[in-house]
Chains A and B, each alone.
Chain A
Amino acid sequence: MSEARPTYRKPLPRIDEESRPWWEALARRELYVQRCRACGITRLPPRALCPACLSSDTEWVRASGAGTVYSFTVTHQNQAPGFREELPYVLAVVELAEGPRMMTNVVGCAPDDVRIGMAVEVVFDDVAPGVTLPRFRPASRSA
């Protein structure tokens, strides 16, 4: 795990007891979704109980890291520290191959090259001790 970037000024996740395993896995460069052993539904973001059946019997399923861009916006204005120095950046919703969609950033390409439906793959960005953000870049191989 890398050292905290001294200049990192963006909000860090407020990790809680329900989300801690997910964030710990990210720090190991692993992305997970949750699956309910009782009803089989796959979910994100993580939480202790399945909202479909309220079962606590949850398994963590390793995600492949592959996904597609479901929607995105090229952000040209954000006055918050950390973001205002990095404009423009791409805020996106990525649909994982396993089903759930998640908010993230698309990196590794020009913002104007991002398209809905584009194949992407996860990259792990260590931003602070114990905090690794799952961002996505254009997939290196064709789907």
Chain B
Amino acid sequence: MSLRGAVAVAGVHEHPTRFAPDKTAYQIMAESARGALADAGLSIRDVDGLFTSGVGPGLGIVSLAQHLDLRPTFLDSQAIGGSSFVSHCLHAAAAIHAGLCSVALVVYGSTAASERFAIGTGGGVPSDPPDQFELPFGPTIVGSYALVAQRHMHEYGTTSEQLAEIAVTMRRHATANPHAKYREPITVDDVLASRVISSPLHLLDCCIISDGGGALVLTSAERARDLAKRPALILGGAEAVQHQGIGRRDLCDVAARQTGRLALARAGVGHADVDLCMVYDSYTITVLVTLEALGFCAPGEGGAFCANGRIGLGGVLPTNTDGGGLSSNHPGMRGIFLVIEAVRQLRGERGDAQVPDCEVALVHGTGGLLGQRHSGVTLLLGRA
């Protein structure tokens, strides 16, 4: 019972705000839901599946259902970090295909920036058992990713300049995105001259902090055909985790190694078929190791693969054409925006930033702490 092509993303909406001290996260979610449902040509009353993340620590998704006065019959508040919303798409596809719901609303909203929340460099409170062996030593989120970057440099000779090129490419994409938070072009030297947050990562190797939100509407491919916009089909996907295990973790090995292979096989597409990559760019190193692990280049070749604008518009593998979390927006969890941009590209709506003849998009969300414990979710989307 393959999922391939059975379910479609019928509506998307990226909230244009990057700073909203006058709004609540729930309001951003409601406005995003309104946008995505209008995009699909559906009504809030059509929604019978609700998917969100990051809404706790209370009843979370139940409180959100009340706020939207929804009575969904399928609920999923997956909490595996920023990749959760990519995971939602996979789960929603399975649920719709199995008849457990018919119209899924995936929604996200956050006011991280206006609450002045130090996402990457704040402290942690020990909660899960493994935390007791880590938090006393002061890992920040940036630090967790920096451990991977340092090891990658040691094993493969990857350089800070190569990482900086990724930030430069994302900023170039952001210049063409009127909603992006940072739109001034930057150079490799600018990245290297920015202060070191956690070596070897500089400030401009790190994603920004913004407010924002977004929503997706998924339904069967059959129903989507009659809706307002050209549907984007879910071709396949997979999710995985990577962690310390029993203390033998190879830091350069990330969850994408497991998901990429599976997702591509399930979707029935090869690397050469992928026209666009939307990969979580929490940090420059995240992009580099993700593309390696997905198999677009060999382990250790990510630095060269990403250099000279090769992952920019017009390059061999256009990646994060909205400017990514490094330049456009990052309200704490970016997974939903990866899917939104992929759908816009598959529809051919992106104007100056359009990938020509975009037929297949690969989305990969990374959630959690890359050097400690993280999730990875790969989703393949295709033009209907």
Interface residues of A (CB under 8 A from B): 10-16, 18-19, 41-45, 47, 51-52, 70-83, 89, 91, 93, 99-105, 116-117, 127, 133, 135
Contact = CB atoms under 8 A, between A and B. Distances in A.
B136 A13 contact: yes
A76 B197 contact: yes
A52 B131 CA distance: 21
B147 interface: yes
Interface in B121-161: 121-127, 129-140, 142-143, 146-151, 154
15 contacts: A14-B132, A18-B129, A19-B133, A43-B246, A44-B247, A71-B147, A73-B199, A73-B200, A77-B140, A77-B197, A77-B198, A78-B121, A79-B118, A82-B138, A100-B246
A43 B247 contact: yes
A16 B368 CA distance: 23
B138 A70 contact: no
B123 A12 contact: no
Interface of A, secondary structure class, is loop
Of A45, A75, A81, A127, most B-chain CB atoms within 10 Å:
A75
Contacts, number: 134
A101 B247 contact: yes
Interface residues of B, number: 45
A100 B133 CA distance: 13
Nearest to A10: B136
Contacts of B371: 71, 93
B365 to A, nearest CB: 23
Contacts of A43: 246-247
Q: Nearest 4 A-B pairs (CB), nearest first?
A: A80-B123, A100-B247, A13-B132, A73-B146
B248 A45 contact: no
A45 B149 CA distance: 23
B196 interface: yes
